[in-house]
Chains A and B, each alone.
Chain A
Amino acid sequence: MIETVVGTMILFMAISAIIALETKDLLSSIISVGAIGVATSICFLLVGAPDIAITQMVVEVLSLIILIRATIRRDLTTINGDREFFGLTVTIALIFLFFLFGFKAFLTLPEFGTPAMSQFIEAPSTKYISSGFKETGASNIVTAIILDYRGFDTLGEVTVLFTAIWGALAIMRVYSRKKRKNKNSHE
């Protein structure tokens, strides 16, 4: 049951991805990407990940607002078409080869419905599930993992977010410090 629903959702996502990449209007393509994000959130909710569903939905809203405010009305002449012919054919041939090899690899995975990461006996997730509640006292096991067992992971995530945000702020700065000082001295 869930397999067919999730498969239909992924087909819907593929169709809206093609629409997003091939349509001429930039606003329509950004809204199609929003449809992909909402379908992803519904899939997360179906396969038992409510934390991720909430985060995905809210992040989707914020990223759509940033994309629309930052790009719309900036380029009135819409740019169509792909790159030159030779490069395009080579790229599509490479993507097709990648698909053939990847398809073979994906067929070796275990069937949908058996967790692939806890196949062997000493897998970490079995320990997290069985003794996570007793050891940390948090009933949400995902929070227990990201803030207690795998705290270094979250520390690296905070560092990456910090660097990305301050990099964006440094790129968008209007005047450099030297110029501003000169301007103030002229006035």
Chain B
Amino acid sequence: MIYPLCFLLFLIGLYGATCKKNIVKIILGLLIMEYSVNLFLILLGWKKNGIAPIIDQSTSHEVFIAQSVDPLPQALVLTSIVIGLGVLSLMVAISIRLYQRYGTFDITEMNKLKH
């Protein structure tokens, strides 16, 4: 029942991104969607009684192969988190420019093609 809960979190973020007026709330909705997708990908790799995919000097190699969790989704998510920070800064920069142009964060007021 954990995967549908992640999907519920994704849908809450989708609701915020599509139905809100304030542009900061839209950015927050996109952030929530990103968190839920990252969490879902990591949870897909979990093995029961698993250990982190880091070999210690004390653990033997056979035990590590039998018990390690899936490292591939972790490698994908690690890059995705840092990309998320770059995209967030780009979105914030665009919203600041929109505020300078229109004087508000309300997206229903931003209806002029040329100012």
- Mark A residues whose CB is within 8 Å of B: 2-3, 6-7, 10-11, 13-14, 17-18, 20-21, 26, 29-30, 33, 36-37, 40, 43-44, 47-52, 55-56, 59, 62-63, 66-67, 70-71, 74-75, 77-83, 88, 91-92, 95, 98-99, 102-103, 106-107, 109, 112-118, 124-125, 128-130, 132-133, 139-142, 145-146, 150, 153-154, 157, 160-161, 164-165, 167-168, 171-172
Contact = CB atoms under 8 A, between A and B. Distances in A.
Contacts of B77: 49, 52
Contacts, number: 259
Given A7-B2, A48-B51, A114-B47, A82 B78 contact: no
Contact of A82 (B19, B51, B88, B105): B19
Contact of A26 (B24, B36, B50): B24
A125 B71 contact: yes
A55 B82 contact: yes
Interface of B: 1-9, 11-16, 18-22, 24-25, 27-29, 31-32, 35-36, 38-39, 42-48, 50-56, 61, 64-65, 68-79, 81-90, 92-97, 99, 104-106, 108
A115 B70 contact: yes
B19 A88 contact: yes
Contacts of B96: 70, 74, 172
